Amino acid sequence: MSDIRYTNDHEWARPEGLLVTVGITDYAQDQLGELVYIELPAVGTAVNQGDEAAVIESVKAAGDVKSPVTGTIVEVNDSLNDSPESVNDDPTGVGWFYKIEIADTSEFDNLLSESAYNGLISELS
């Protein structure tokens, strides 16, 4: 069982102390197709849970990455600027988007577990 949590909008969140690393799920990258552009948030940006935090464009569509938790962006994955396809290759590894200092840990606790998220995507298939 993983400590990663998920949103209904197909973002994942992995805790690392008071930081949470955020990206999009394998299901999301598969639905989008090859990513060609990612606009990451600026370090120091404060976001609320559910706010747009990043913008992604693929060969099929464009969309927003919403923040799974409230907090302040403390690091971004700059390598995605030159290699957005890294998200397609490894969405929960080298394809992470940003790290956020979480303001309210109860928000993280209320995200979907891996089994709940798998149930959600099985209904979509």
Q: What is the CATH number of domain 5-120?
A: 2.40.50.100
pLDDT 10s digits, 76-106: 999 999 999 999 999 999 999 999 999 999 9
Mean pLDDT of 15-20: 92
Please report, to the nearest 10 degrees, the dihedral formed by the alpha carbons of residues 82, 99, 66, 14 taken in order: 110
